[in-house]
Amino acid sequence: MNKKQNYKKSTMYYVWSFVAASVAVVGYGIYRTLSDGVDFWSWLLDDYILYPFLIVGFLWIYHNLAGRARSKVQLQNREEKFLLRVSKKVRDDLALEPEDVERLRESEKFQKALYVAYQITLNGETAEYTYEFLESRFTPGTLEYKAVKIIADEVRDIRNEETV
């Protein structure tokens, strides 16, 4: 799996954006002065001196909002991939019928176990979330126990893949 990418822009990005916007405004001012005979300084000070600041401000706001949205989407994609992977593994290994899948989907206890498994996938084992905790929540021999056992093994595989 990919490491989390850093989308934060450096200060130099905004400095160069300001310089580029300033050059564009000055260039347009020189063009207006030469083609239309407009007084460059009055044109610049009256109307266009704020544009480079506005452009950099909008870029900063956009990158901050887009960065947050991007990281949220990445987390949702990771969770979705996790759920698809473990559900496929459980379905294949246990040859579940549609009624069994529905029963697991409706079980709050099983859904909490899935949440714990996902937290272990993200953060590793903690004092609160362990593989033993996952497996100890269900009676051995039940469908839920078998499914959680498969999920725990799959989480171990996922964690091992990430460390490689």
State the pLDDT at residue 105: 86
Burial class from Cβ neighbours inside 10 Å (0-12, 13-18, 19+) for residue 17 reads middle
Number of domains making up the chain: 1
| Entry field: residues in the chain | 164
The sign of the torsion formed by the CA atoms of 133, 159, 67, 12 equals positive
Q: What pLDDT tens digit does each residue of the chain (164 aa) get?
A: 344 445 567 888 888 888 888 898 888 888 888 988 888 888 888 777 888 888 888 888 887 777 777 766 666 778 888 888 888 888 888 888 888 888 888 888 888 888 888 888 888 777 777 777 777 788 888 888 888 888 888 888 888 877 65
> What single-letter DSSP state applies at residue 127?
S
Q: Six-digit token pair at 15? A: 């400095």
Do the domain assignments include residue 100?
Answer: yes
State the pLDDT at residue 4: 45
Do the domain assignments include residue 43?
Answer: no
Do the domain assignments include residue 76?
Answer: yes
pTM for the model stands at 0.52
Do the domain assignments include residue 17?
Answer: no
Do the domain assignments include residue 145?
Answer: yes
- For 143, the domain range is 72-163
Do the domain assignments include residue 67?
Answer: no
Q: Which residue has the tokens 């020189």?
A: 30
Do the domain assignments include residue 37?
Answer: no
Do the domain assignments include residue 56?
Answer: no
State the pLDDT at residue 37: 86
Closest CA to 128 of 139, 120, 136, 118: 120
